[in-house]
Structure 1
Amino acid sequence: MTFDDLLAMFVNPELLERYGPRFVDGLLVTGKLVAISFTLGAVLGLLLALARMSKSQLLQRLAAGYIYFFRGSPLLAQLFLLYYGLGSLKSFWQDVGLWWFFRDAWFCTLLAFTLNTAAYQAEIFRGSLLAVAPGQYEAAKALSLKRSTTFFKVILPQSLIVAIGPLGNELILMIKASAIASLVTIYDLMGVTKLAFSRSFDFQIYLWAAVLYLLIVEIVRRSLKHIEARLGRHLR
């Protein structure tokens, strides 16, 4: 068997020409889904972390309950609960004017991913904020800095250095978990892969998907490694 024959087993030019553009579209959908949900999840996660660290028992318990539920139940179950469960309440959502949201698989998936990653990011942020030395708070207080200035200018930048690694791991896990979006008719990378395989019955379709997921993860890993090195360059 020649190299060309071996290559043809994994890269069929005709198949690539037919489904290549769809794979690119699916890749863009996956990237968009993960980027938006991860960003929104970071904002919500930071708020949850602050609630967990607040002096209010009510806020602590509400945040803890949220984190317990979304970390303790499968993302797939959460997605089905939002899309099929809440989506079945058509009359109610029409009355409150939100049916346009819950009837759309894209918005439900985006919401499920955001709520799920926010729970994980909340614990990451909480751990990184607690890792900041108490002396930093005392120094800011001695300088009569406002609480907002202390948090955004002193505490948060230092905590991000600690959080960047775990946040990167969470982002990579999200990229891989995004494949379940195809189960609610989202044509992301895995959705396009399933569609292409159902028409071609060629196993190399799934090989292409695996390679693309590996490529995305590697790009993200290297980018985060570079960012972490830049943020922590003064610590060397």
Structure 2
Amino acid sequence: MNAEALLECAPAFLWRDDLETSGLALTARLFLLALIPGSLLSIVLAVLQAFGPRPVAWLIKIYSYFFRGTPLYLQLMLIYYGLSQFGVVQEGWCNANCFWLMFRNATFCAVLALTLNMGAYVTELMAGMMATFPRREWVAAEAFGMSRFTIIRRLVVPATLRRGIPALCNELVFLLHATSLASTVTLMDITGVARSVYSSTFSPFIPFLIAAALYLLCTFLLLYLCARAEHKWLRFQSRV
């Protein structure tokens, strides 16, 4: 692959033209769209698993076991291709049902798979930390007249998020790397652009090297932000 061909394919990785979104922009979009609902889902499920009724906790464990026990690739295939085999989905498409039409959108299916997968891992992580919340702090909060819900909302959840920053940062990196699977459902993210350039030039080294460099750059940026968060919110631990 010569320098001229490389310059021709570079815009598809880095910036947007008048027709389509660049691979880097689509990867960032997938990451953010999965991060926000995935984080909220994880917090709610972790609280229910740690402090909710036993039947609800078991249902959450089943969900977590399935999404942690199967590859993300298969989950994406089941959502994007598998659901279309059911009659209710096909009827929804024919009747232009807004809910089922979303499952024809590759971006929606990819974000849904990433959200559910991330939610399963982070739920288990946070539920474990919530279960080890210091009993003496809980008793002290009750002595001040706080209700169970108030203790969870004002003490347990903030403490879990703060102490879990190092582990949660690892999950962010995993989520970023997991977005590369979106190319398997026709999305032109960083990996999708690299595969497209490879199929048109038959030169795999340069496009995949560019993709690897972009993922490294994004990972270093995430790790830098995580390091700043640790320095700000975990500074108290260095004084103990």
Q: What is the rounded CA distance, in whole Å, between the counterparts of 2:171 and 2:106 in structure 1?
A: 23
> How far apart, in 1, do the equivalents of 2:136 and 2:112 lie?
39
Deviation sequence 1:54-109 (CA, Å, 0-9, x none): 35121011101000100001101100000001133342333554232011111111
Contact residue 105 and residue 186 of structure 1 kept, 8 A: yes
Q: Which amino acid aligns with 1:209?
A: A
- Report how many aligned residue pairs link the two structures: 226
Helix, strand or coil at the partner of 1:18: helix
Mapping 1:34-113, distance limit 5 Å: 34-89=31-86, 90-94=89-93, 97-113=98-114
Cα distance in 1 for residues equivalent to 2:157 and 2:54? 23
TM-score (normalised: structure 1): 0.89
1:38 partner letter: L
The aligned counterpart of 2:19 is none
- 5+ residue gaps, structure 2, are 15-21
SS at match of 1:53: helix
Partner of 1:6: none
Root mean square deviation, CA, Å = 1.7
2:13–2:23 Cα contact (<8 Å) kept: yes
Which consecutive unaligned segments of at least 5 residues does structure 1 have?
Answer: 1-8
In the alignment, which residue of structure 2 is the partner of 1:5? none
Q: Distance in 2 between matches of 1:136 and 1:188?
A: 46
Tell me, what secondary structure is at the counterpart of 1:145? coil
Do the aligned residues in 2 keep the contact of 1:37 with 1:114 (CA within 8 Å)?
yes
- AA partner of residue 181 (structure 1): A
**Counterpart in the other structure of 1:224:** 226
One-letter code aligned to 2:188: Y
Change (3 A) 1:54 1:234: closer
Letter in 1 for 2:79: L
Pair 1:182 & 2:172 matched: no
CA displacement, residues 164-215 of structure 1 (integer Å, 9 cap, x when unaligned)? 1111111111111211110110111100110111112222111111111111
* C-alpha separation in 2, matches of 1:167 and 1:147: 25
Compare 96-105 and 198-207 and name the one that shifted more: 96-105
- Aligned residues: percent identity? 34
Distance 1:77 1:49, change over 3 A: same
Question: Where do residues 1-236 of structure 1 align in structure 2 (5 Å cutoff)?
Answer: 13-24=3-14, 25-89=22-86, 90-94=89-93, 97-202=98-203, 203-236=205-238
Whether contact under 8 Å (1:179, 1:188) holds in the other structure is yes
Q: How far apart, in 1, do the equivalents of 2:3 and 2:132 lie?
A: 53
Distance 1:62 1:200, change over 3 A: same
* C-alpha distance in structure 2 between counterparts of 1:132 and 1:53, whole Å: 10
The CA distance in 1 between the partners of 2:45 and 2:127, in whole Å, is: 9
Matches of 1:119 and 1:139 in 2, distance apart? 32
Cα distance in 2 for residues equivalent to 1:13 and 1:135? 65
SS of residue in 2 equivalent to 1:98? helix
Secondary structure in 1 matching 2:115? helix
Structure 1: how far apart are the matches of 2:84 and 2:107? Answer: 12
Q: Confirm or deny: 8 A CA contact 1:128 1:160 kept in the other structure.
A: no
Task: Name the aligned partner's letter for residue 21 of structure 1.
Answer: P
**TM-score w.r.t. length of structure 2:** 0.88
How far the C-alpha of 1:129 sits from its partner, in A, is 1.4
